[in-house]
Structure 1
Amino acid sequence: MHATSGLPAARLAHVTLLTEGTYPHSAGGVSVWCDQLVRAMPDVDFRVVAVTATGGEPPAWDLPRNVTALDELPVWGATPAGREPRGRDRRALLDAWERLLTALLAEGGGDDELFGPALYELGGWAQAGTLSAGLRSEAAVRALARLWRRPGTDAAAARPSQYDALTGTDLLEHALRPLAAAPPTGVAHAVSGGLATLPGLLARHREGVPLLLTEHGVYQRERYLGHRTAPYRWPVKSLMLHFFRLLAREAYRHSALVTPGNRYNRRWEEHGGAAPDRVRTVYNGVDPAAFPVAGPEPEVPTLSWAGRIDPIKDLETLIRAFALVREEIPEARLRVFGGTPRGGEDYRARCEALARELGAGGAVSFEGRVDDIRTAYAAGQVVMLSSISEGFPFTLIEAMSCGRCTVSTDVGGVREAVGDTGLVVPPRDPAAMALAALALLRDPARRAALGEAARNRVIDQFTLRRTIESFRAIYAGLSAAGPLPSRSCAGVTWLPRLWHPSVPSPATAPAAEGTA
């Protein structure tokens, strides 16, 4: 929904919001957070730079008027335009590529000091429009195969194959595509770690644009969880995990400010290299008026769940726990609310098959997205959260604001959110989850007391107003400070044409055709 009033004449700040797989193409919790942030600050101009999968994802949100532009960066979309550089330019690009690979293959998880300079030099080639073509070359694949065979690399003992080299080079080429984005201006605000930080890091080193990093989950940890089941051999998994680890450390070390949503994330970020004096915890918040106390409980004992259908939400543990609940309360139901992201259809089918296999198929309903998420929270006596990774989950504090008691897994900032107003159980433990759900389903008085305490906790500590005030002050402070001194990278010879896209590169200008 667009704002209807005119924009104020005085602008507080200009912010480039950097997202990955979320706003404005997804309806999940991070997207809700972004939309609330943008709409609550009509005197801030936002440009959204969204890292997407294919570029064909339809927007899930109507952008307000203070979003001045939306740039999409498809990582797996059409092959970027541009051709491989030639002559000395080709050798310079491959030299930077080999330095990046050397950093990723260094013993002990990679070389931080070598990674940054190589990344930013490759960023220059991305801005010139030649990086993707250069990394799709046979020479780039040969470089990885050769470096992998060196004694002492972590993956050497696994004897990486030529196919592994092709796969690893391809994955890195796609991962580096966001470096080609038009540079962020004002304040670059990455709302996740990982690929969303690439344009912000490059702008910070190129123009001194301050980078603000807000991780809702721990991106690096989630990549480790995801790669457990990735269809690659160990050398490729190791390469990519080292890439994400070093990228996370680069972002933590060089952000002007890191704003985790909970103390759990803060510990990860400080361990990853963020200076404690540049880390400020800002909790997610909701508007209690927008999430009032839910209506009467359903007549049938019901557990409800809301979120996206995704392996990281671990619906399989939830379904196994529910099957145990039904052994004690045969009439119980489980209602699952939320959309299935593109590519997640097989996981949803697996969850549905598991429910049937456990004899609970008729009692588990997958109800898709709902226009009003409050419907999902009101649908059960108990709201469940079964994730194996979370930051500070919106579904939890929204359900708490609605006065529903909760059973949640002890991940991320969940315990900080719940306090003593709900039950917290270990992740991947169906028996513990079932016992907690049964205890609440059997005790209406306890449910009512916990639900009331949960809403009071949200009002006391986790309101949207506090969140917005914190980020308004942060934006104003970073904008007033102006550009930071850009950090030169020791040992790198910068080519001016790479840092000034308006000046044609000899590798791309018409006059360069036919040169050696």
Structure 2
Amino acid sequence: MHDPRGARRSDATRVTLLTEGTYPHSHGGVSVWCDQLVTGMPDVAFDVIAVTGTGHEPVVWELPSHVTGVRSVPMWGAPPEGEPPKGRARRQLARAYERFLTALLDPCAEDDFAPGLYTMARAAEEGTLSPFLRGDRAVSVLASVWNRPGLQVREARPTLHDALTATALLEHALRPLTAPLPTDGVTHAVSGGVAVLPGLAARERHGVPLLLTEHGVYLRERYLGYRTAPYRWPVKAVVLGFFRLLAEETYRRAALITPGNRYNRLWEEQGGAAPEAIRTVYNGVDPAAFPPAGPEPETLTMSWAGRVDPIKDLETLIRAFALVRAQLPHVRLRLFGGTPRGGEAYRERCEALAAELGHADAVTFEGRVDDIKDAYAAGTIVMLSSISEGFPFTLIEAMSCGRATVSTDVGGVREAVGDMGLVVPPRDPAAMAAAALELLGDPVRRAAMGEGARLRVIEQFTLRRTIDTFRDIYQELPRTGGVPAPEPVWRPEPARSLAI
């Protein structure tokens, strides 16, 4: 029997979206998904708690009237207001923080993570957590914990600078706990990680059911990102320990987890989620909004759409393009999408790589496009080169537009494509180039694959199905006290067979 996780009953149809770096302050696939969900349910009252960078980010989406409030929680702006605790309160918080840190570093003490986290959540609500973590006491607690005999991290000889760095990173990561907590309805975290913190605190404090949707695997992406982060191992041990135990606590406490693909489900079950608390809900598009793209461009073109970010691995795509161009000198690569703030260096690195390989004249960074359909129509084939994805919108949108695709085998890509596109290993330019050459050289196969891809979207991945599923969940969780109904048995219909 699935544990109700302490959620109380409520008849309110109110949803608090919990986001990080996405809706409503930036564009991208997850933001598109949030906008579709919100605009598709005018009968539901939405609030948004958005974890942002500095707090000065503008709202870039037009919000409908049933979005009743947006609260920005900056992670890197001015610190939260408040005063450090004193006397007994200071000693109690220091003890809770010590247990919390021990859980991050000692596998035998991981059960102390949740009690420590919720004690700190109370301190954040009182305005004392951030001032405490910015003080000397917090640094000395960490220095004491990770120098205990028997802890593996001690062997790396952590320094005072390491302690200052790790404490500062934790202080920033815990800032979402300062957001006013919802007291009714449902909290819906649209990713794992720090965005979930207000939802966990609201579940613990007020019994509000927590719904988690993971598009990518947040923990996996943190592991990938910290491989090259400029920190020593003791700092990484603390921060990655925090993200791992936060993911496990989220998986245990969520009333329902709705991954966008079955690949994510494996991570969630491994992280402690009960199988009966997981229900796969695929992303969907409106086929009428993404009609067939029409004639192919006159020049053979590889098109890509997304945000310019290392996780999209444009370097592999550019290297693959160089191999393709060695066989087809007139082919072009067009990259559509904005560069997020802070990502300028990555774009410059990609541009430099294209120049270094001698193809700067044929690789164009187009920036944001007013109508994303134009990005798909611009390609003879559409590419996806990511090293991590959930169930990518750009892929099913391109499929709906009737374009043949070459994609990396990450996340839910195979579930989306089926046999109506080519799938290659990530970080493999030669395999990507071979697949692209296969399609670029065979117009009959391209056309058949594009037609089959659109039919697959119409039959299995429509926006209406996605919205109706989440409306039912929003109504169900408060009514059942956070215990989800059994997952309906639903198997996607096979795509119609076409000769390819």
Q: Name the TM tier (shorter chain).
A: over 0.9
1:188-203 correspondence to structure 2 within 5 Å:
188-203=187-202
Q: 1:483 offset after TM fit, Å?
A: 6.9
1:488 paired residue number: none
- Shift in Å, 1:111: 4.0
Shift of 1:153: 1.6
Partners of 2:386 and 2:408 within 8 A in 1: yes
Distance 2:67 2:12 in 1: 14
Q: Quote the residue 2:158 is aligned against.
A: 160
Post-superposition shift, 1:77? 0.7
- Aligned partners of 2:12 and 2:185 also within 8 Å: no
User: How many angstroms does 1:154 deviate by?
Assistant: 2.5
1:79-478 alignment runs, 5 A limit: 79-107=79-107, 111-184=109-182, 185-478=184-477
Question: How far apart, CA to CA, are the structure 2 residues paired with 1:60 and 1:407?
Answer: 31
Shift of 1:25: 1.1
Q: Match for 1:179: what amino acid?
A: L
Q: Deviations over 1:117-147 (max 9, x none)?
A: 1000000000001100001110110110111
Aligned counterparts of 2:321 and 2:109: Cα–Cα separation in 1 = 46
**Cα drift, residue 83 of structure 1:** 1.4
Q: 1-side partners of 2:60 and 2:347: how far apart?
A: 21
C-alpha contact 2:75 2:176 (8 A) present in aligned 1:
yes
SS at match of 1:362: coil
Q: What is the alpha-carbon distance in structure 2 between the residues aligned to residue 482 and residue 389 of structure 1? A: 34
Amino acid at match of 1:103: A
Q: Which residue of 2 aligns with 1:513?
A: none
Distance 1:238 1:329 in 2: 47
Matched residue count: 472
Q: Which residue of 2 aligns with 1:493?
A: none
CA distances 1:169-208 after superposition (whole Å, capped 9, x unpaired): 0000100010111002310000000001100000101111
After the TM superposition, which parts of structure 1 deviate over 3 Å for at least 4 consecutive aligned residues?
A: none
- Distance apart, 1:51 and its partner CA: 0.5
State the 1:151 CA deviation. Answer: 1.6
Q: CA–CA distance in 2 between the matches of 1:111 and 1:421?
A: 48
Structure 2: 5+ residue runs without aligned partners? 1-10, 484-500
What is the SS of the residue equivalent to 1:365?
A: strand
Q: Secondary structure at the match of 1:296?
A: coil
Once the two structures are superposed, residues 373-409 of structure 1 have per-residue CA deviations (whole angstroms, 9 ceiling, x without a partner) of: 0000000110000000000000000000000000000
Give yes or no for contact 1:12–1:43 (8 Å, CA) kept in 2.
no
Letter in 2 for 1:157: E
Asked whether the equivalents of residues 284 and 462 of structure 1 are also in contact (C-alpha less than 8 Å), the reply is yes
Q: Distance in 2 between matches of 1:193 and 1:453?
A: 34
Moved more, 178-187 or 366-375: 178-187
Partner SS state of residue 367, structure 1:
strand
What is the SS of the residue equivalent to 2:103?
A: helix
Report deviation, 1:367.
Answer: 0.5
Hey, what's the Cα distance between the residues in 1 that align with 2:414 and 2:187? 30
Query: Aligned partners of 1:92, 1:173: CA distance in 2, in Å?
Result: 18
Shift of 1:52: 0.6
Q: CA separation in 2, counterparts of 1:284 and 1:36?
A: 10
**Cα-Cα RMSD:** 1.1
C-alpha contact 1:207 1:483 (8 A) present in aligned 2: no
Q: Is the 8 A contact 2:406 2:436 kept in 1?
A: yes
- The one-letter code of the counterpart of 1:431 is A
Please tell me the residue identity of whatever aligns with 1:92: Q
Separation (CA, whole Å) in 2 of partners of 1:375 and 1:112: 50
One-letter identity of the residue aligned with 2:463: L
Query: Residues 23-62 of structure 1: matches in 2 within 5 Å?
Result: 23-62=23-62
Q: Distance in 2 between matches of 1:12 and 1:40?
A: 18
Which residue identity lines up with residue 206 of structure 1 in the other structure? R
Amino acid at match of 2:441: R
Q: Which amino acid aligns with 1:275?
A: A
1:335 touches 1:365 (CA, 8 Å); kept in 2?
yes
Query: Would you say 1:66 and 2:70 are equivalent positions?
Result: no
Q: Distance in 2 between matches of 1:159 and 1:81?
A: 34
Q: Could you list the per-position Cα deviations for residues 88-116 of structure 1 after superposition, in whole angstroms to 9, with x for gaps in the alignment? A: 11111111111110110113xx7442100
1:35 corresponds to which letter in structure 2? D
3-state SS, counterpart of residue 305 of structure 1: strand
User: Aligned partners of 1:341 and 1:12: how far apart in 2?
Assistant: 37
Q: Percent identity over the alignment?
A: 71
Counterpart secondary structure, 1:69: strand
Distance 1:449 1:156 in 2: 60
Q: Distance in 1 between matches of 2:151 and 2:404?
A: 51
Distance in 2 between residues matched to 1:121 and 1:42, nearest whole Å: 37
For 1:458 and 1:39, locate their aligned partners in 2 and report how far apart those are by CA, in whole Å.
21
1:346-365 deviations in Å (ceiling 9; x for gaps): 00000000000000101000
Query: What TM-score, normalized by structure 2, do the two folds share?
Result: 0.93
Compare 181-190 and 330-339 and name the one that shifted more: 181-190
Normalization by structure 1: what TM-score?
0.90
Equivalent residue letter for 1:136: R
Q: Distance in 1 between matches of 2:475 and 2:185?
A: 11
One-letter amino acid of the counterpart of residue 443, structure 2: P
Check conservation: 1:112, 1:250, Cα contact below 8 A: no
Task: After TM superposition, give the deviation of residue 63 of structure 1 in Å.
Answer: 0.8
Q: Which amino acid aligns with 1:360?
A: H
- Report how far residue 482 of structure 1 moved: 4.4
Q: Deviations over 1:309-332 (max 9, x none)?
A: 000000000000001111001111
Q: Secondary structure at the match of 1:318?
A: helix
How far apart in 2 are the matches of 1:152 and 1:336? 51
Compare 81-90 and 195-204 and name the one that shifted more.
81-90
Contact preservation (8 Å) 1:12, 1:44 = no
User: Which whole-Å CA distance do the structure 1 matches of 2:64 and 2:215 have between them?
Assistant: 23
Distance 2:481 2:39 in 1: 24
The AA in structure 1 aligned to 2:207 is G
Structure 1 position 479, deviation (Å): 2.4
How far 1:221 sits from its partner (Å)?
0.2
Amino acid at match of 1:182: P
Gaps of 5+ in 1: 1-10, 485-516
- Specify whether residues 111 and 190 from structure 1 end up closer, same or farther in structure 2 by C-alpha distance, changes over 3 A only: farther
Contact in 1 for aligned 2:80/2:178 (Cα 8 Å): no
Q: Contact 1:45 / 1:68 at 8 angstroms: preserved in 2?
A: yes
Tell me how far apart the structure 2 counterparts of residues 60 and 409 of structure 1 sit (CA, whole Å): 30
Amino acid at match of 1:174: H
2:93 maps to amino acid: L
> Structure 2 counterpart of 1:266, which letter?
R
Letter in 2 for 1:421: M
Counterpart-to-counterpart distance in 2, 1:25 and 1:138:
35
Give the partner amino acid of 1:176. L
- Cα distance between partner residues in 2 of 1:188 and 1:143: 33
What SS does the corresponding residue of 2:80 show, helix, strand or coil?
coil
CA contact (8 A) 1:335 1:367 kept: yes
